């Protein structure tokens, strides 16, 4: 039910198949983010046509609205949203970071001042497990403490050790919830430790000592640290990660990060940038980023990316999409979201094919050259 089969490797890069209750996921894979039970702005059919095999939901947001009890009463997140493929829910750990101005943290958990109505909401490892169990995604994430990317050793160590203690509580509570129930949800731990190699090693060692997990996530990256540090952390970790388990790099990334992550042995990615940047008018193409609102596109009859077969590129011109943005037609942001999603999904999928063919390294080199040729900021 929670199987992972490794099909091929090339260097650290891997191609595999992850089997989950709602279906299988071929890796490497990019997972669109649907924080509040919807990939922002898109119809599930569009997300599916963009190639998504699995999407995310968020514990914190769905707890605030509509409430996990509502989702459970409506038959769970899959039935509620009509998304019948695999799903993964984040634990609310990211909100410890992103809502740092609205929360108080102690050993027991985190108290948030709801950004919706100001009410106090307490999230603990146990509560995060209960919410995720009620939501019913295939994969639940452990409740973690994510410190800012440039945290000093002492802070990163404190957060990493707390994350390990919280992992034990998460695991115990999740086991309790799952006891006697059919195996419909698995729990994944999250490696923390900031930019510090020793902390990252300790974090992973602690995780692996704590149990036999069906997958392992690397968290706390792309939160303010530099790219060399982010890539370096993955390189440090890779040899110690279980070969026969999927590795999930949380919250990453941009196209170049997907390539670099795959090259360093990552199997799963998720990132809001595809939809957020898409909404904001930034499109990824094989030749780098394109500012959709740019004056240069006013009379451009080309698609966003000539090599793309998404619903936006096979039908609409840059000039028209630019017009939609200026006219504030929702179709504009939606089309670029669809394109960016498809771009990342196809990127991971193409990497998979190259790994299976044993040509990944050469392909990646060419890809980087072309993507950065025009001077896109790395």
Partner RNA sequence: GGUGGGGUGGCCGAGUGGCUAAUGGCAGCAGACUGUAAAUCUGCCGGGCUUUGCUCUACGUAGGUUCGAAUCCUACCCCCACCA
Active-site residue list: 90, 270
Say whether residue 215 binds RNA (CB under 7 A).
no
Choice from 253, 321, 348, 351 touching RNA (CB under 7 A): 253
CA 281 – CA 164 distance, rounded (Å)? 39
In a 13 Å sphere around the CA of 348, the CA atoms on its Cβ side amount to 32
Looking at the Cβ atoms of 40 and 63, the one nearer to RNA is: 40
CA 63 – CA 57 distance, rounded (Å)? 11
Q: Give me the helices (H) in the chain, please.
A: 44-49, 59-64, 68-73, 76-81, 93-98, 125-135, 153-178, 197-210, 227-237, 255-263, 273-279, 318-326, 331-357, 360-373
- Report CA 139 to chain centroid distance, whole Å: 12
Residue in the block written with tokens 């698609």: 303
Looking at the Cβ atoms of 54 and 141, the one nearer to RNA is: 141
Q: From residue 188 to residue 207, what is the string marking binding to RNA with x (rule CB under 7 A)?
A: --x-----------------
Binding-site size, RNA (CB under 7 A):
57
Looking at the Cβ atoms of 41 and 242, the one nearer to RNA is: 41
Say whether residue 353 binds RNA (CB under 7 A).
no
Say whether residue 251 binds RNA (CB under 7 A).
yes
CA 173 – CA 109 distance, rounded (Å)? 14
Region of residue 76 (phi > 0: left; psi between -120 and 50: alpha; otherwise: beta): left
CA 52 – CA 57 distance, rounded (Å)? 14
Span interacting with RNA, options 53-61, 74-82, 168-176, 304-312, rule CB under 7 A: 53-61
Say whether residue 146 binds RNA (CB under 7 A).
yes
Say whether residue 291 binds RNA (CB under 7 A).
yes
Span interacting with RNA, options 9-17, 90-98, 169-177, 194-202, rule CB under 7 A: 90-98
Q: Give me the phi and psi of 8, to 5 degrees please.
A: -165, 155
CB of 257 to RNA, least distance (A): 5
Span interacting with RNA, options 4-12, 196-204, 267-275, 302-310, rule CB under 7 A: 267-275
Site residues (CB under 7 A) for RNA? 33, 35, 39-41, 56, 58, 61, 90-91, 93-95, 97-99, 101-102, 115, 141, 144, 146, 190, 217, 219-220, 222-223, 227, 250-254, 257, 270-273, 275-277, 279-282, 291, 293-296, 298, 326, 328, 330, 333, 377
């Amino acid at each position: 039910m929670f199987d992972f089969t490794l099909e091929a490797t090339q260097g650290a890069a891997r191609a595999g198949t992850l089997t989950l209750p709602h279906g299988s996921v071929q890796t490497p894979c990019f997972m669109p983010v649907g924080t509040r039970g919807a990939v922002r702005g898109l119809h599930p059919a569009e997300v599916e046509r963009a190639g998504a095999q699995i999407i995310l939901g968020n514990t914190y947001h769905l707890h605030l609205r509509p409430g996990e009890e509502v989702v459970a009463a409506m038959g769970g997140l899959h039935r509620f949203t009509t998304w019948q493929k695999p799903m993964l829910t984040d634990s609310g750990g990211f909100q410890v970071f992103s809502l740092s101005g609205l929360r108080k943290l102690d050993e027991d958990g985190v108290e948030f001042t709801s950004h919706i109505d100001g009410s106090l909401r307490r999230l603990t490892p146990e509560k995060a497990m209960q919410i995720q169990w009620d939501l019913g995604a295939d994969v639940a994430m452990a409740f973690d403490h994510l410190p800012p990317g440039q945290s000093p050793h002492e802070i990163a160590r404190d957060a990493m050790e707390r994350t390990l203690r919280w992992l034990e509580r998460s695991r115990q509570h999740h086991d309790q919830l799952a006891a006697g129930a059919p195996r419909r949800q698995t729990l994944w731990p999250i490696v923390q430790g900031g930019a510090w190699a020793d902390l990252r090693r300790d974090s992973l060692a602690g995780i692996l000592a704590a149990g036999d997990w069906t997958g392992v996530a690397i968290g706390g990256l792309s939160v303010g640290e530099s790219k060399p540090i982010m890539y370096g952390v993955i390189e440090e970790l890779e040899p110690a990660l279980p070969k026969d388990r999927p590795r999930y790099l949380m919250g990453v990334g941009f196209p170049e990060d997907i390539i670099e992550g795959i090259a360093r042995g990552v199997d799963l990615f998720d990132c809001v940038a595809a939809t957020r940047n898409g909404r904001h008018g930034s499109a990824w193409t094989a030749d780098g980023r394109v500012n959709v609102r740019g004056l240069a596109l006013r009379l451009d009859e080309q698609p966003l990316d000539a090599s793309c077969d998404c619903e936006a590129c096979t039908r609409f011109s840059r000039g028209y999409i630019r017009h939609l943005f200026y006219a504030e037609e929702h179709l504009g942001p939606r089309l670029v979201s669809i394109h960016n999603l498809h771009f990342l999904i196809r990127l991971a999928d193409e990497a998979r094919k190259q790994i299976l063919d044993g040509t990944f390294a050469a392909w990646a080199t060419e890809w980087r050259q072309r993507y950065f040729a025009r001077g896109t900021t790395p």
